[in-house]
Amino acid sequence: MMWLDYTIDSLPAGKGFKIRGDWEGEVMGVSKDGTQKEHYLYKPGDVFRVNEGGWLIHVGKDGDVLTKKHIK
């Protein structure tokens, strides 16, 4: 799936970034009317690692056993 027309805001010194859609929560599965959508980029608690090609790979949710394996 290709997502278009989004803005990326970043924190100083590479501490983090946020992807903004046309309304707050759009990329996290919230429709304009506040209902949940089927597709989303990420949800609160998701944990990703960046591979050698620059892809963010979903490794689990914050606190999962799987996630702890990838976080050092």
Q: Are residues 13 and 47 in the same domain?
A: no
Name the residue among 46, 45, 40 with its Cα closest to residue 58. 46
Long-range contacts of 41-48 (CB under 8 A, 24+ apart): 41/3, 47/71
pLDDT of residue 10: 94
Give the mean pLDDT of the chain: 86
Q: Which domain holds residue 37?
A: 1-41
Q: Are residues 53 and 64 in the same domain?
A: yes
Q: Are residues 33 and 66 in the same domain?
A: no
Q: Are residues 33 and 51 in the same domain?
A: no
Q: Are residues 1 and 34 in the same domain?
A: yes
* pLDDT band at residue 28 using 50, 70 and 90 as cut-offs: very high
Q: Are residues 31 and 47 in the same domain?
A: no
Cross-strand bridge partners of residue 36: 30
Which tokens sit at 41? 């980029």
Q: Domain count of the chain?
A: 2
